[in-house]
Structure 1
Amino acid sequence: MSSTSAFFARKGDELVPSPHARGPWSPDMLHGRLLGGLAAQALEQRHAEPGLHFARLTVDLFRNSPLLPVTVETSLVRDGRRIRVADAVISTEQGVIGRASAVLLRQGEQPEGERSIVTPAWDETPPSEPPPDQTVGWKPPFDLWRATEWGAPGPGRVWMRERYPLVDDEPLTPFVRAALAADFASPLSNVQPDGLRFINADYTLTLARLPETELVGVESTGHVSAGGIATGQVTVHDTAGPIGFCVVTAVANTLAMGHQNGTPGR
């Protein structure tokens, strides 16, 4: 696989996936993180404006899809002086497989004064060496440094860095990098010592600012589950400090990531 092999090739209105666009659940299933990335890219390309900041991105992943060409259509919902709202619909020949909504807020002067609650910067040093090779199970098509072991007590922590372009040779923007990393909120907040027993149905990424570097850090900060339904949250970092949060909802799945083959049901 070339070091520049994009996950998708643009052919007309369609985005044709490469083999490494598959996810961990099945060798012929599109990875949900890439759908969120495509939605973020389309929303940014069509609705971004200087001075407007992507403060929220919600991605709904309600249908699995094989490695089929994807189309992303966007629409402007609201365009006010201080807020812009836009939606995206992600489809294949089998129908709609996901949707996204973005909120853009007008940047301005930062209020002065002390704040009663401030999220601290974490103490994980950015990696300086290549990530270790993963020899068992699904191999992530991105660089991944695990600061903690899967399912270990305490907050799970990882550093991530994209290895391939998302579409052709189009450069990855900071917003798209954040959107791609945000999907990792589900495995990080929902993993158990014996594997991942929940599969996420969505994620909502909120950003006070965009990442300043290619490295994005994700730290699990909460998990609650009952009756086979889970919600998890993470704090998102770059090398300068925290940049936002991500919350996911998930449903119990009997297929643990890396333990069995098969496709999850959404």
Structure 2
Amino acid sequence: MTARPAHFVQLADDSFQPTPFAQSHWGADHLNGPALVGLAAAILDERYGSEDFMPARVTVDLFKAARGVTTTAVTRLVRDGRRVRNTECELVQDGVTVVRAILVQYRRSEPPRGQEWSAEVDFTQPVELDSDEYVHIGSDGHGWTRSIADHQNDARKRFVNRPIDAVEGRKNTPLVNAVMAAEGTSLVTNLGTAGVGYINGDLTVALARLPRDGRIGVQADSHWTDDGISVGSATLYDSDGAFGTGVVTAVSNLAAQIDFSNDPFPDRTR
């Protein structure tokens, strides 16, 4: 039986080795965002997740470029309250913290009385989703394809993906799938006519509920830029509709801008 693809292989309780699937477009021996946020989310969910608590927010700071070396996870229970639980995970390489993630969980309860405003959303998935591992990307006026290069334009963008496993031999939980897919907020907001020229330094995922299936859509909602700084937000969707929001801040990375029209693997976002 062929092993499912994964970003990391676990070496010991707290150490992980990146696989080739974790390779980034940004440079040789750089790890990609979905791999890093997925590993942090998987560790936090495994160690601190609870059926009584809803994982409502994950905030990940990507301090510096992570490399293809052994990565150690250090976790901490920050607060374990009656209604709120806060936990933290750091990913360390060669003694330096490269990623820090914070998970905020709220105790599940009955909703309050009354009705509230809710935004109207419109997201139509591709008619044919013929692969679990490949991304389908779309933009206004251009439909859906599997090639990122087809969507190097200035239109609103969206994609649908089923993330591969963060850790080999450990099927992603709904939280891990949501966080890994939400990292694509940077792609759908920062992909322009010349490719992606902003590199995100963080990711915030806010969830009203967990996704009910593994295939998750991400659709751009806003994108604001000035002085080489970008802020982008997107809505997350599953087969039942919208369930959360992704937000990224990013900084211009002009010297290493990714032009997908020159990519030999244009349908690969990892």
Q: Same fold (TM over 0.5)?
A: yes
Hey, what's the Cα distance between the residues in 1 that align with 2:154 and 2:24? 26
The Cα of 1:125 is off from its aligned counterpart by 2.9
Hey, what's the Cα distance between the residues in 2 that align with 1:93 and 1:128? 44
Residue pairs, 1:146-225, within 5 angstroms: 146-148=137-139, 150-162=151-163, 164-225=164-225
User: Does residue 1:78 correspond to 2:82, yes or no?
Assistant: no
Counterpart residue identity of residue 224, structure 1: W
Residue pairs, 1:39-118, within 5 angstroms: 39-93=40-94, 95-116=96-117, 118=118
Hey, what's the Cα distance between the residues in 1 that align with 2:50 and 2:239? 26
Over 6 Å off, 4+ runs: none
Counterpart residue identity of residue 36, structure 1: V
1:188 is paired with a residue whose SS is: helix
Q: Percent identity?
A: 32
Counterpart residue identity of residue 137, structure 2: R
2:165 is paired with a residue whose SS is: coil
Hey, what's the Cα distance between the residues in 2 that align with 1:203 and 1:63? 14
Hey, what's the Cα distance between the residues in 1 that align with 2:120 and 2:222? 16
Using structure 2 for the length normalisation, give the TM-score.
0.86
2:25 is paired with a residue whose SS is: coil
Match of 2:24 in 1: 23
Residue pairs, 1:123-162, within 5 angstroms: 123-130=123-130, 142-148=133-139, 150-162=151-163
Cα pair 1:127 1:145 within 8 Å, conserved: no
Length, aligned pairs only: 249
2:201 is paired with a residue whose SS is: strand
- Higher deviation after alignment, 153-162 or 43-52: 153-162
Counterpart residue identity of residue 49, structure 1: S
CA, structure 1 residues 31+125, in 2 after alignment: closer, same or farther (shift >3 Å)? closer
Hey, what's the Cα distance between the residues in 2 that align with 1:3 and 1:26? 27
Which 5+ residue runs of structure 1 have no aligned equivalent? Answer: 132-140, 262-266
CA, structure 1 residues 55+174, in 2 after alignment: closer, same or farther (shift >3 Å)? same
1:40 is paired with a residue whose SS is: helix
1:7 is paired with a residue whose SS is: strand
The Cα of 1:256 is off from its aligned counterpart by 2.0
The Cα of 1:129 is off from its aligned counterpart by 3.3
Using structure 1 for the length normalisation, give the TM-score.
0.87
